Amino acid sequence: MDRERFRRSGQRLLALTVEVCQGACEVEQARLEAKRIGRSYGTWARGKGIDSPKMLRAFHLIRRTMIDAAFELTETENLEPQAVRELLVRLEESMDAVEMGLLEATLPFHTRTAGSG
């Protein structure tokens, strides 16, 4: 995955996150696309010899940024508590899907390298 592809994937993940937070896309479709994005990053990482823990640490920084942005959105929009809860659940589900995609792509690598040492 080259720099341009990373940039496009990152932009799509951000756009997808906004769509998810706004409820502007179907939940299952968003989950599948988020998982595909995660799998793409994970496949790249596996090709570069980056193991699952390192990839997850990097993703958790992105996840934290997305959650912080969502909290800022809830403050500027004066959302009711139930709406905040729903937004955060949708965001978590999307981020979980990215994480699962990462793991599906990198765990086979991690398992092979852990077993060979």
53: CATH: 1.10.490
Q: What are the E-state strand segments in 18-116?
A: none
pTM (2 decimals)? 0.78
17-62 pLDDT, tens per residue?
888 877 788 888 888 999 999 999 888 888 888 888 888 898 898 8
43 and 103 in contact (C-beta within 8 Å)?
no
Percent of the chain scoring above 70 in pLDDT: 90
pLDDT at 112 over 70: no
* Both tokens assigned to 12: 């799509």
CA distance 72 to 58: 22
Q: Domain of 74?
A: 3-115
- Give the per-residue pLDDT at 108: 65
pLDDT at 86 over 80: yes
pLDDT at 114 over 60: no
pLDDT at 5 over 80: no
CA neighbor of 31 nearest in space, from 12, 16, 49, 15? 16
Confidence of residue 111 (pLDDT cuts 50, 70, 90): low
Give the count of domains, the chain: 1
Distances (CA, A) of 31 to 25, 34, 42, 46, 99: 10, 5, 16, 22, 11
DSSP category for residue 25: S
Percent of the chain scoring above 90 in pLDDT: 14
Higher pLDDT, 79 or 64: 64
